[in-house]
Structure 1
Amino acid sequence: MQGVHTASSTWQTVQLYYRDILEHGDKRTDDWLLVHSPVPIVCIFLCYLLVIWAGPKLMEHRQPINLKPVLVVYNLAMVCLSAYMFYEFTASAWLAKYSLLCQPVDYSDSPLAMRMARVCWWFYFSKVMELADTVFFILRKKSSQLTFLHVYHHTTMIFNWWAGVKYVAGGQSFLIGQINSLVHVVMYVYYGLAALGPHMKKYLWWKPCLTSLQLTSLIQTALEFQI
């Protein structure tokens, strides 16, 4: 009986905690896609882990899939989205006179506050879309690119930005989105050109610069979230 009581008490605690998660978020973003509850993003994360586990096994005895048309369109779309987000982060922060060092969240329904909240959601949604990068690596049998850092970065970003949009849509987090969006413009331009074929290799001499940008962005993101 004591075990049943303990299990019941634990379940009640979990329910109360889950209710607090739902009820104490930013009311402005509560009805937006993939924001209200953590359940959808957790399901996406679990599916992502399943793909990482099962994908290489399914592709082990198959030839790499030619995804050239898909990759060209996908990378072009991500360049456009990243450029849009960089512009929106920059314009919203500039017009609202944001501080680069310590900017509180504006929870009002003012046009500028809502503009910043919306671009934060788009950034969060882009992190979900970017999980496709991993799927493309698996289908093309690019196992060397499927590193722990790659998986860790993608998974932590979706959860960090779910929490960001759920509770603090705006504020100092804008700087992470702004810098990351700019880096991703460059990154997806590179990936898009590389997807066109080996003949583009001579134009991609700047890959070491891209790697440096990516590492700088990762370090900056880690420091910002620690703060």
Structure 2
Amino acid sequence: MDIIKNKINDTIEFYKWSLSIADKRVEKWPLMDSPLHTLAISSTYLLFLWLGPKYMQGREPFQLRKTLIVYNFSMVILNFFIFKELFLAARAANYSYICQPVDYSDDPNEVRVAAALWWYFISKGVEYLDTVFFILRKKFIQISFLHVYHHCTMFTLWWIGIKWVAGGQSFFGAHMNAAIHVLMYLYYGLAAFGPKIQKYLWWKKYLTIIQMIQFHVTIGHTALSLYSDCPFPKWMHWCLIGYALTFIILFGNFYYQTYRRQPRREGMSSAQCTCYKMVIGNIVALRYNIDIG
């Protein structure tokens, strides 16, 4: 029992110590005083992920066309704002793309970088709505492990990033990812208009390719920072490399299943296609306990 108490006390002391070295500029910003807010939001997301499909069982899917158009184009604007702010503030602060330590001062450009990164963190929380809309529209097959893993980890891990390193090297990944999300939500916004527009959206698969390139660039950039002994938390560098590798594997598998394996199915006979769709439908039904009979 004493061992457990000591472990708990050590954990509490470590947490208090970690707060003492956190970025003082952000501690009074929304959601930043404690990790509990972020964990509560993420827990609510996971709870809805479990209960949502059960609620939709036996109900007609919502169409949400206008809602999706507004949502996706709002995300285009938000991500463009983040990209623009990071680009301009980093340029004004003479940021290096090779090695940029965190400046915790109240310099206007540094605070602007921190604020843009905070908005980036907030955008990851807003992106939970992607899953909510999938569930309300009964697009359950699109809620893959990659989808949930990406959404949950990004929002949670970026709280850590903003709390301790809201600047410096952190700007690079957010800057690049925000630009990609402008293109991604532009695609989704246009696709929400329906078949008349969708037939022109031939470039969907290139979004996945761009995302995979992003993760390779992230690993290269992080490795360069380690090689140059950049004064940025090394444990964060190593964790980022490992994290990016998981996305390369998951997005690579998604690309193969969607754009390499899928064309082979086009050569199936009508009976084979029907059988394949029934199998997929049954898998989804079992996953969410939905009656498809």
1:204 match: 201
- Does structure 2 retain, via aligned residues, the 8 Å contact 1:85–1:181? yes
Map 1:102-117; keep pairs closer than 5 Å. Answer: 102-117=99-114
Tell me if the contact between 1:22 and 1:37 (Cα under 8 Å) persists in the aligned partners: no
Shift of the alpha carbon at 1:220? 4.4
The match for 1:51 is 48
1:19, distance to aligned residue in structure 2 (A): 2.2
Give the equivalent residue in structure 1 for 2:66. Answer: 69
Residues 113-152 of structure 1 aligned to structure 2 (within 5 Å): 113-152=110-149
1:226 lines up with 2:241 in the alignment: yes
TM-superposed deviation, 1:219 = 4.6
Determine what percentage of the aligned residue pairs are the same residue.
Answer: 46
SS at match of 1:171: coil
Question: What is the Cα deviation at residue 12 of structure 1?
Answer: 2.3
Given that 1:105 and 1:170 are in contact with CA atoms closer than 8 Å, whether structure 2 keeps it comes out as: yes
Question: Structure 1 residue 57: deviation in Å?
Answer: 2.0
Separation of aligned partners in 2, 1:183 and 1:7: 46
Distance 2:47 2:28 in 1: 28
Taking the aligned partners of 1:96 and 1:24, their CA distance within structure 2 comes to: 23
1:221–1:154: structure 2 CA closer, same or farther, 3 Å change rule? farther
Q: Find out whether 1:159 has 2:156 as its counterpart.
A: yes
- Displacement after TM superposition at 1:6 (Å): 3.8
Partner letter of residue 241 of structure 2?
Answer: Q
Query: 1:164-214: CA deviations, max 9, x gaps?
Result: 110000111111111111111101111111111222111211111122123
2:175 is equivalent to residue 170 of structure 1: no
Tell me the distance in 1 between the aligned counterparts of 2:125 and 2:214. Answer: 18
Which segments of 5 or more consecutive residues in structure 1 lack a partner in the other structure?
none
Which structure exhibits the higher relative contact order, with contacts defined as CA atoms closer than 8 Å and separated by 6 or more residues? 1
Q: Secondary structure at the match of 1:203?
A: coil
The answer to whether the aligner puts 1:93 opposite 2:90 as a matched pair is yes
Structure 1 residue 79 corresponds to structure 2 residue 81 = no
Give the AA of the match of 2:167.
G
Once residues 100 and 165 of structure 2 are traced to their aligned partners in structure 1, the CA distance between those partners, rounded to angstroms, is 11
RMSD of the alignment, in Å? 1.8
Q: How far apart are residue 150 of structure 1 and its match?
A: 1.1
The alpha carbon displacement at 1:146 in A equals 0.7
Distance 1:183 1:166, change over 3 A: same
Look up the equivalent residue of 1:226 and give its one-letter code: I
- The letter of the residue matching 2:169 is Q
User: Structure 1's 222 and 97: CA in aligned 2 closer, same or farther, altered over 3 A?
Assistant: same
More divergent stretch after superposition (77-86 vs 217-226): 217-226
Alpha-carbon distance in structure 1 between the residues aligned to 2:219 and 2:147: 14
SS at match of 2:169: helix
Task: State TM-score, norm by structure 2.
Answer: 0.72
Structure 1 residues 182-191 or 22-31, which shifts more?
Answer: 22-31
The count of corresponding residues between Structure 1 and Structure 2 is 224
Match among 205, 210, 218 for residue 213 of structure 1 = 210
Shift of the alpha carbon at 1:101?
A: 1.6
Which deviates further from its counterpart, 200-209 or 184-193? Answer: 200-209
* Cα deviation code 1:111-136 (max 9, x no counterpart): 11111011010101111111111111
Quick one: distance in 1 between partners of 2:17 and 2:78? 33
C-alpha deviation, 1:100, in angstroms: 1.1
Q: Which moved more, 1:201-210 or 1:102-111?
A: 201-210
Distance (Å, rounded) in 2 between the aligned partners of 1:54 and 1:215: 32
